[in-house]
């Protein structure tokens, strides 16, 4: 297996004092690094 050939991801909501937030992660299976770090754009769950 090579880098950038297999990715996995997950999305969940996290409860905070200000409400629920999304957490989305995409991981490269070979290097185990995050594929793309977010721009810290906060999205609240409805």
Q: pLDDT (tens digit, 9 = 90+) per residue, 2-20?
A: 877 888 889 989 998 988 8
Distance CA 5, CA 18 (A): 38
Q: What is the pTM of this model?
A: 0.57
Other CB atoms within a 10 A radius of the CB of residue 21 amount to 14
Tally of domains within the chain: 1
Quick check: is 46 in a domain?
Answer: no
State the pLDDT at residue 7.
Answer: 87
The per-residue pLDDT for range 23-46, each reduced to its tens digit, is 888 888 888 887 766 555 666 666
Q: Would strands 19-28 and 7-16 be described as parallel, antiparallel, or unpaired? A: antiparallel
Quick check: is 31 in a domain?
Answer: yes
State the pLDDT at residue 4.
Answer: 76
Distance CA 20, CA 6 (A): 30
Distance CA 11, CA 26 (A): 9
Residue 29 structural domain = 1-37
Name every residue whose Cβ is closer than 8 Å to that of residue 17 and which is 6 or more positions away in sequence.
Answer: none
Quick check: is 23 in a domain?
Answer: yes
State the pLDDT at residue 41.
Answer: 62
């Amino acid at each position: 297996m090579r880098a950038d050939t297999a990715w996995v991801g997950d999305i969940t909501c996290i409860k905070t004092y200000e409400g629920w937030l999304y957490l989305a992660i995409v991981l490269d299976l070979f290097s185990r690094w995050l594929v793309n770090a977010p721009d810290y754009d906060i999205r609240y769950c409805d």
